[in-house]
Amino acid sequence: MKQEKRPFNKLIPIPFQQVIINDLFWSNWQDINRRVAILHQYEQLEKAHHINNFRIAAKLKKGRHKGEFYYDSDIYKWLEAAFYILQQNKDDELKSKVDEVVTLILKSQLNDGYINTFYSTNFIERRFTNTTFMHELYCAGYLIEAAIAHYNATGSKKLLDAAEKFMNLIYTIFMGEKKVNPPGHQEIELALMSLYRLTNNKKYFLLAEDFINRRGKDANSKRYILSQFLNLNSTQKQAKEMALKDGESNEIEDFYANLSFNERIKFYYAILNGTCYQLNIPVRKIRDPTGHAVRAMYMFCGMADLYADNGDEDLLDALIRSWSKITEGKMYITAGIGSVNGIEGFEKDFKLRIKNSYSETCAAVGFLMWNWRMLQITAQAKYADLIEKILYNSLLVGQSLDGKKYSYTNPLISNGDYDRQEWYLCPCCPPNLARTIASLGQYIYSKSENALFIHQYIGSTLNFEINEVPIEIHQQSEFPWQGKVKLKIFLGNNLTFKIFLRIPRWSKKTRIEINGELLKDDLIPNRYIEINRNWKDKDEVTMIFEMIPNILDGDPRVKDIKHMVSISNGPLIYCLEQNDNKNFDITHIQIQENIPLTVIYKDNLLGGINVIEGKIVSGEKFVAIPYYTWNNRGTDKMLIWSQKA
Ligand code: FUB
Ligand code: ZN
């Protein structure tokens, strides 16, 4: 699995296959992912009819597709996660499940290459008539990603060949007849770029580029979108009627049932004017990202992949503008994005409500993926810094500590009525988390010519090469509880190369030692420090980042957090849960800005965490816990922001 330098990227990613995570914090998450979450998800996919849809499409069972029309995508994400796990762990139980699912997918492929159980078990003649709302291209994208993971894990080309056959069909249909409609849910673009990189087949690049370039053209007019919307309704109606005829019911719960009247109006308006699915404007002209956050993230990933290969500066400018817009005015303190219900997406700048904040877990995954691409393009620390924030906050909060419950939306405040669930009608988030946690190793390091970049401080063993010289690096990290990190370098012969170390934004004082001797202690945060030397076997680098708790002021431009404060420590955002603060109602407290805060490690609380203690204005002690750990002791009141005294 060798990654090549893309022509316009500064960095070369190091794939997770070269990194073995051995970390105080993350190993446990990977372990839960491998032992619990992946199997729990399989059971749910079985219960919710996802796997049966493939059995039916493969003609091993009678019936029709049940559930949401994009259920195939959840299977593909789950498979991708399972392949990542299997690549680093032997697990016969998981392997037999994976083998069965792969066989079902292969058997459900039509002769011309088409795979999609919603259409193939219902009405194949309707296929590709609605790329705005239906998710054939979205599912196809995840199929590609699963197929690449399968190939990398096993060397088998079976699933990859099937995915390529499907892509050739899509290529013929979409490039041949020049259909004008791009996918309403982006995903296939980034997947096609990965397929292009693996196979070197230019067709995939051209198709990805074409899908990206088609956005915002005349064909995405309101009239066209309306006709697609009517098609969506008639397609779903027909599917229901056909099921009823068979004596089956295919009652699909209304995903949007809980939308208020205003949210509903806003939602339909944003769909029809194209802003919800980013169909309203050519991608290079985007100034202010709108609409569905997951779609936007996947689109930005596709654009970044395209830039990495074609160097189109207009694409990069749009990406940089969009990133600034989002991080300045559309992102929560947790790095969560997409604040609005209904469109599941972006509001105007600084309209970040904290009650019912949406902040979908998949949006955190997509944001991570996009930041990773921006980092490879630019080698700028701000992207790695944000990745760290996403990982420890908006992403991890999406899963319970035991790996069996998930959150779809992630509130920043709760009055006690919110709970993670074992599964969702739309279960896009759980397998998205599983594949991210399983492949976490890919986010830690990159290479460039004669240099290693260390982006994340996660205990791990890395094997890589510089100028064909093998190098092993052992990283030991005390994150996120303490700021100390150690690197040990193993080399055959002395070698001169550079190591770039990220100084996190939150570390106001950083000390770096080499073999016990001070190298520097006046380092500016949020950038990389370059160490260029002739490294010898067993050299040791020690970094001590200042990790102290802080009280952060709410941005006065955001109405909901004006005159409010929150607490952070290193990469973690903290919250108050009522459970830890029994002497007062957490919703009615005031906290002063400059109070002393104490950090205490509690071994037996929530898997082992640092709590932060301080005093509220009335003099009573408060206890704050890391945001990602909330809602693991039942439903409870929780808040990130408190009134400033
Ligand atoms: O449409 C499929 C998935 O459902 C999206 O990626 C999620 O955001 C949710 O809308
Ligand atoms: Zn999701």
Residue 4 Cα, ligand 1 centroid: separation in angstroms?
A: 31
**Does any ligand 1 atom lie closer than 6 A to the CB of residue 23?**
no
The one-letter amino acid code at 113 reads: G
**Quick check: 22 pLDDT over 80?**
yes
Quick one: pLDDT at residue 179? 64
Q: Which ligand is nearest to the CA of 72?
A: 1
Query: pLDDT per residue over 406-418, tens digit each?
Result: 999 999 999 999 9
Quick one: pLDDT at residue 521? 94
Return the ligand 1 atom nearest residue 362 CA.
8
User: What is d(CA 607, CA 596) in angstroms, rounded to the nearest whole number?
Assistant: 26
Quick one: pLDDT at residue 219? 64
Which residues lie closer than 8 Å to 449 by C-beta, 6 or more apart? none
- Residue 458 near residue 479 (C-beta atoms within 8 A): yes
Quick one: pLDDT at residue 178? 66
Q: Which of 132, 259, 292 to mutate to test the pocket of ligand 1 (most atoms within 8 A of CB)?
A: 292
Quick one: pLDDT at residue 86? 98
In the structure, what pLDDT confidence band is assigned to residue 177 with cuts at 50, 70 and 90?
low
**Quick check: 252 pLDDT over 80?**
no
Q: Which ligand is nearest to the CA of 408?
A: 2
Residue 430 Cα, ligand 2 centroid: separation in angstroms?
A: 7
Tokens 């259920």 correspond to 71
Quick one: pLDDT at residue 222? 86
In the structure, what pLDDT confidence band is assigned to residue 257 with cuts at 50, 70 and 90?
confident
Q: Which residues are 502's β-sheet partners?
A: 528
Query: pLDDT per residue over 195-238, tens digit each?
Result: 999 999 999 999 999 999 999 987 678 888 999 999 999 999 99
Residue 454 Cα, ligand 2 centroid: separation in angstroms?
A: 29
Quick one: pLDDT at residue 352? 94
Which pair of tokens denotes residue 101?
């699912």
H/E element, 612? strand 609-615
Quick one: pLDDT at residue 1? 59
The one-letter amino acid code at 288 reads: D
Quick one: pLDDT at residue 3? 65
Q: Which ligand is nearest to the CA of 295?
A: 1
**Does any ligand 1 atom lie closer than 6 A to the CB of residue 362?**
yes
**Does any ligand 1 atom lie closer than 6 A to the CB of residue 426?**
yes
Name the 3-class secondary structure at 503: strand
Query: pLDDT per residue over 445-502, tens digit each?
Result: 999 999 999 999 999 999 999 999 999 999 999 999 999 999 999 999 999 999 999 9
What are φ and ψ of residue 540, in 5° steps? -125, 135
**Does any ligand 1 atom lie closer than 6 A to the CB of residue 140?**
no
User: What is d(CA 11, CA 440) in angstroms, rounded to the nearest whole number?
Assistant: 18
Return the ligand 1 atom nearest residue 360 CA.
8
Residue 438 Cα, ligand 2 centroid: separation in angstroms?
A: 17
Q: Which ligand is nearest to the CA of 398?
A: 2
Q: Which domains does the chain have, with CATH numbers?
A: 12-442 (1.50.10.10), 444-479+483-545 (2.60.40.1180), 549-644 (no CATH)
Q: What is the pTM of this model?
A: 0.98
User: What is d(CA 57, CA 64) in angstroms, rounded to the nearest whole number?
Assistant: 8
Which pair of tokens denotes residue 312?
């189109």
Query: Span 372-389, mean pLDDT?
Result: 98
**Does any ligand 1 atom lie closer than 6 A to the CB of residue 425?**
no
User: What is the per-residue burial (b if ≥16 Cβ within 10 Å, else e) of 40-52?
Assistant: bbbebbeebbbbb
Q: Which residues are 621's β-sheet partners?
A: 615
Mean pLDDT of the chain: 96
